[in-house]
Chain A
Amino acid sequence: MTVDNPRGAALAEQGRLPAERVALVDLLDRLLAGGVVVSGDLVLSIADIDLVRISLRVLIMSVRENLGEA
């Protein structure tokens, strides 16, 4: 199976962004916006937490730090 060399690899080479972090963004697209969602007898009501926004905020902050260090 051929899969594109992700753009993250190139950015990682330039020291701009770790490749695994780019992959994490794609993963979070799916893990936080996709998958089976069930509400009800949960310990944690996911609806209470805007997971996507929290994670995007933390990711953006970390990318900024990375760019700052470069």
Chain B
Amino acid sequence: MTDTGTYLYAVTEETPSSGVAGLHGVAGTTVRTIPCEGLVAYVSTVPLDQFGAEPLRRSMEDLDWLGETAGAHHHVVEEVADRSPVAPVRLVTVYRGDEQVRDLLRERHDDFVHVLSTVAGRREWGVKAYADLSAPAPAAAAPSRGGPGTAYLKKRQAGLRSREEAWRQAAAQAEHLHDTLSAVAVASHRHRAQDPELSGRREAMLLNGAYLVESSRDEEFLKTVDGLRGRGVEVELTGPWAPYSFTDLEVRGDG
């Protein structure tokens, strides 16, 4: 018999619509619910020969596996989020068994209730902003009285200065974008800028922001995003997402 674990996707408050009939999760497993003290955990039973620590270490390096698993996890979270406010759980969170999940719901009950009340009626939007920092033309080299060496050095210094200046401007612009968007949002979070190889773009990513927006203000938020376009900045919108970036229980524990 294969050892199994309990894979946790998300937590919600218990509602009459907490059913999961026909829902499938990672590795094609059937999703079920564990109710406990007014909360519901969405889980599935997974084989530990795939979801144990050692196999995971290997399979997380396999892009196809990672893509499929992330997609399946996300699918469950989305389905659940359609019905009620949801606290998504980080990818590949696997418990020894259902009892450990119940322990979690009991021990962190108040934290979950707090997080769920924070995200209720709100959705997460992603905004990425890019700027081409190589674009600004170097300051026209003034006619120099020095020799060609001096002219070269001056030009090089001017080039460095203009690049530094471009970065400074870009950083300031990113702050401005983030502040403007945050003003329309309930909460905001800046993810690390994506590696240019991952974003697939030559331009620098100035901002990789996540914004928790009141559903009634979605339109206003999207208008604000549109208003930030142009002026040398390309703005890309993703979402709406389940509130992945705003359900960090650990943060509250620190506070």
Instruction: Write the residues of chain A forming the contact surface with B, with a CB cutoff of 8 angstroms.
Output: 1-4, 6-8, 11, 16-17, 20-38, 40-46, 48-49, 51, 54-64
- Judged by a CB distance under 8 angstroms, whether B238 is at the interface is yes
Residue of B nearest to A50 (CB): B60
Give the residue of B61, B90, B115, B240 whose beta carbon is less than 8 angstroms from that of A54: B61
Instruction: Pick from B194, B218, B246 the residue with the most CB of A within 10 Å.
Output: B194
Residues of A close to B57: CB separation below 8 A = 49
8 Å CB contacts to A: which residues of B234-255? 236-241, 244-250
In the complex, the 8 A-B pairs of residues with the closest C-beta atoms, listed nearest first: A30-B244, A34-B244, A35-B90, A31-B91, A41-B100, A44-B53, A34-B245, A17-B200
Residue of B nearest to A67 (CB): B197
Instruction: Write the residues of chain B forming the contact surface with A, with a CB cutoff of 8 angstroms.
Output: 5, 11, 48, 51-53, 56-57, 60-63, 66-67, 70-71, 73-74, 87-96, 100, 103-104, 108, 115, 124, 126, 189, 191-192, 194-195, 197-201, 208, 210, 218, 222, 236-241, 244-250
Residue of A nearest to B87 (CB): A36
Residues of A close to B91: CB separation below 8 A = 28, 31-32, 35, 51
A70 and B241 CA atoms in complex are apart in Å by 32
B33 CB, min distance to chain A CBs, angstroms: 16
New A-B contacts (8) at CB < 8 Å, excluding given A36-B87, A42-B93: A4-B236, A7-B199, A7-B236, A22-B200, A36-B11, A38-B104, A38-B108, A44-B5
Q: Cβ of A38 and Cβ of B93 under 8 Å apart?
A: yes
A63 and B200 CA atoms in complex are apart in Å by 8
Residues of B close to A38: CB separation below 8 A = 89, 93, 104, 108, 249
Q: Cβ of B62 and Cβ of A11 under 8 Å apart?
A: no
Give the residue of B53, B61, B90 whose beta carbon is less than 8 angstroms from that of A37: B90
Residue of B nearest to A41 (CB): B100
A35 and B52 CA atoms in complex are apart in Å by 20
B64 CB, min distance to chain A CBs, angstroms: 9
Q: Cβ of A56 and Cβ of B198 under 8 Å apart?
A: yes
Q: List 14 A-B contacts (CB under 8 A).
A: A1-B218, A4-B237, A22-B200, A30-B88, A31-B91, A32-B91, A37-B249, A40-B100, A41-B103, A42-B96, A46-B93, A58-B61, A59-B63, A62-B63
A4 and B238 CA atoms in complex are apart in Å by 7
Residue of B nearest to A21 (CB): B67
A41 and B63 CA atoms in complex are apart in Å by 28
Residues of B close to A8: CB separation below 8 A = 200
- Contacts A4-B236, A43-B94 known; A29 to B250 CB distance under 8 Å? no
